[in-house]
């Protein structure tokens, strides 16, 4: 392609567009323009952008997927969060690593695959939104993509390969009491009842320990109780953050907690199921060949991988940039990291399709 832009130029332009979760229209439009400019015919909807390349010979289908939305900029920046400031070999901006760096690397990997030609099959790229909130759009995109044999979830991992990932459940624990004057102590107090349940959960042991991710993690994160300073509370609630592993289903975890407490449990969100790459998965074999020098690890952070796991699509999580910079002020990615991502994704796809076996 004549006068093809450099990857850092494309990413710099994307980082100028604010796309906080729930307000992604502008970043979808700008990204779609770039995809079309680079020679693809994107399918653009309110849920994201999909484009693909195909070989003449039928074969396996590989999905590259990542998200375009970001968390809010927040405070503490010394560079404009949406100014895409370049300083030496670093590019600053909200989303630089999480996860527009992955999106730029995937787009340029698709360009290289198109230029080199696939030995067989199809490569699909899907850029979704809503991942940083509670309504990720990838499940909607997946409904129209047909059968997929392997997937790559683009998140910052330093191009190390995550082969398992914790899930996330958000639960609400509640206890009831009797409302009355605080000078009297006739009836049960909802705060004491809730406190007793929290102590039971603190002592709760989950027997099955995952060999990669370890133990289940259960953490109270918010409390709410009472109606006035001088009134015994008729209710008390706690929000629980539960980080799951493939050792238990979310239904099993819910039942164990319900058997432990005396109060009431409500599931607020359980869509982020735990994930693990099957040992015999084609995508894992490809990763071991193409990314052999990288670390293979278990990831604590939830991601769109959960949507793939619910559809039993074998996947790995890998992307350019340091995950420690995610959601931080002065988020940045280096030119070298971006190039490493492009090369890694390209080699991974070529291995997946058998191009590297000759």
What burial class does residue 160 get, using C-beta atoms within 10 Å of its C-beta: 0-12 exposed, 13-18 middle, 19+ buried? middle
**Integer angstrom CA distances of residue 61 from 57, 77, 98:** 12, 41, 25
- With left for phi above 0 and alpha for psi between -120 and 50, is residue 106 left, alpha or beta? alpha
Q: What is the DSSP letter of 189?
A: P
Contact 337, 10 (CB under 8 A): no
Q: Which of 289, 291, 346, 283 has its CA nearest to residue 309?
A: 283
Query: Which DSSP string corresponds to 308-329?
Result: HHHTT--EEE--SS-GGGTTST
d(CA 247, CA 290): 29
Give residues with Cβ within 8 angstroms of 192, minimum separation 6.
177
Contact 194, 265 (CB under 8 A): no
pLDDT values of the chain reduced to their tens digit, one per residue, 358 residues: 446 789 999 999 999 999 999 999 999 999 999 999 999 999 999 999 999 999 999 999 999 999 999 999 999 999 999 998 999 899 999 999 999 999 999 999 999 999 999 999 999 999 999 999 989 999 999 999 999 999 999 999 999 999 999 999 999 999 999 998 888 777 799 999 999 999 999 999 999 999 999 999 999 999 999 999 999 899 999 999 999 999 999 999 999 999 999 999 999 999 999 999 999 999 999 999 999 999 999 999 889 999 999 999 999 999 999 999 999 999 999 999 999 999 999 999 999 998 765 4
Query: Which DSSP string corresponds to 261-275?
Result: -SSEEEEEEEEE--E
Residue range 281-300, pLDDT digits in tens: 999 999 999 999 999 999 99
Q: How far is CA 99 from the centre of its chain?
A: 9
Rounded to 10 deg, the angle between the 25-37 and 7-15 helix axes is: 160
pLDDT of residue 357: 59
What burial class does residue 1 get, using C-beta atoms within 10 Å of its C-beta: 0-12 exposed, 13-18 middle, 19+ buried? exposed
Residue range 184-194, pLDDT digits in tens: 777 799 999 99
Q: Which of 332, 322, 323, 335 has its CA nearest to residue 78?
A: 332
Contact 198, 205 (CB under 8 A): no
d(CA 33, CA 334): 24
What is the H or E stretch that residue 225 is in? strand 217-225
Query: What are the strands, taking DSSP E only, across 19-166?
Result: 43-45, 48-54, 61-67, 86-87, 90-92, 122-128, 150-153, 161-165
Residue range 224-282, pLDDT digits in tens: 999 999 998 999 999 999 999 999 999 999 999 999 999 999 999 999 999 999 999 99
* The two three-digit tokens of residue 55, written as one number: 């070989």
Give residues with Cβ within 8 angstroms of 339, minimum separation 6.
7
* The two three-digit tokens of residue 67, written as one number: 């998200």
- What is the chain's length? 358
pLDDT of residue 319: 98
Return the SS3 of 221: strand
């Amino acid at each position: 392609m004549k006068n093809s832009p450099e990857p850092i130029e494309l990413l710099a332009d994307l980082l100028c567009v604010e796309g906080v979760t729930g307000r992604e229209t502008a970043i979808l439009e700008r990204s779609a323009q770039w995809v079309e400019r680079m020679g693809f015919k994107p399918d653009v909807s309110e849920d994201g952008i999909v484009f693909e390349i195909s070989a003449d010979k039928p074969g396996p289908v590989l999905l590259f997927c990542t998200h375009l939305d970001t968390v809010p900029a927040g405070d503490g920046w010394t560079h404009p969060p949406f100014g895409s400031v370049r300083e030496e070999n670093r590019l600053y901006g909200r989303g630089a690593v999480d996860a527009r760096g992955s999106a730029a690397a995937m787009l340029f990997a698709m360009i290289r695959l198109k230029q080199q030609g696939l030995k067989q099959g199809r490569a699909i790229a899907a850029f979704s939104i809503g991942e940083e909130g509670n309504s990720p759009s990838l499940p909607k995109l997946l409904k129209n993509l047909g059968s997929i044999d392997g997937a790559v979830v683009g998140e910052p991992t330093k191009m190390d390969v995550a082969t398992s990932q914790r899930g996330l459940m958000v639960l609400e624990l509640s206890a009831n009491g009797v409302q009355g004057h605080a000078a009297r102590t006739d009836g049960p107090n909802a705060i004491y009842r809730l406190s007793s349940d929290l102590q039971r959960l603190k002592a709760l042991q989950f027997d099955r320990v995952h060999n990669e991710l370890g133990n289940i993690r259960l953490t109270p994160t918010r409390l709410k109780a009472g109606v006035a300073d001088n009134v015994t509370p008729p209710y008390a609630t706690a929000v629980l953050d539960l980080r799951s592993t493939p050792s238990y289903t979310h239904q099993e975890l819910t039942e164990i907690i319900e058997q432990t407490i005396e109060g009431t449990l409500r599931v607020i969100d359980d869509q982020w199921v735990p994930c693990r790459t099957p040992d015999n998965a084609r995508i894992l074999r490809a990763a071991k060949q193409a990314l052999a020098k990288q670390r293979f690890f278990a990831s604590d952070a939830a991601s769109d991988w959960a949507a793939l796991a619910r559809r039993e699509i074998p996947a790995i999580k890998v992307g350019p940039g340091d995950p420690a910079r995610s959601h931080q002020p002065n988020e940045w990615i280096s030119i070298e990291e971006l190039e490493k991502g492009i090369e890694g994704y390209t080699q991974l796809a070529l291995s997946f399709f058998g191009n590297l076996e000759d």
